[in-house]
Amino acid sequence: MFISFKNNKAFSAIEMMIVVAIIGILISIAVYNFNKIKEDVKKKACIANMGTIHNAVRMYYMENPVVSDQFDLSLKALMAANYLKTEPRCPNAEKLNNSVAFYSILDKPGKKIDVLCVNTQDSKSAHGSYLKLTQPAGAQPAPANQ
């Protein structure tokens, strides 16, 4: 009984299909992770914008002590008083106008100042409350006085 081995230097079709399948799986994992990272970056940029607005409101109230229930503070007022140079925009709302996607300042007596990312066209792309997003997981809400 003789076993003859051909000097075969080519890959078989099955070997090629396995390699292509492995490469396809790796590419799909990479694309999924890339999209997830892109969304995380947009969310972090939105949180940074809300933090900037939050700090601008706090600085405004430190320098202009008024009763917060008698004054409705807006982004336009903060820009006019030079606490903000430009109006921050949520990265998810770059192509939308200000009446559809905007930041809203919540300032109610006895409550902490909060900033909301609002998108009236697509509520899933709005990031929500600054205080909720920056609160550590499992932490109890802070007292109302600031």
Tell me the pLDDT tens digit for each residue of 120-133.
Answer: 888 888 888 888 88
Please choose, from the candidates 15, 88, 27, the residue with its C-alpha nearest in 3D space to the C-alpha of residue 54. Answer: 88
**Residue-range domain boundaries for the chain:** 13-134
Residue 55 CB-density burial (10 A; 0-12 exposed, 13-18 middle, 19+ buried): middle
Whole-number pLDDT of residue 146: 47
pTM: 0.71
Tell me the pLDDT tens digit for each residue of 85-112.
Answer: 988 888 888 778 878 888 888 887 667 8
Q: Are 102 and 142 in contact (CB under 8 A)?
A: no
Whole-number pLDDT of residue 4: 59
Tell me the pLDDT tens digit for each residue of 47-96.
Answer: 999 999 999 988 888 887 765 555 678 888 888 889 999 888 888 887 78
Report the distance separating Cα 71 and Cα 146, nearest Å.
17
- In the beta sheet, which residues pair with residue 129? 116
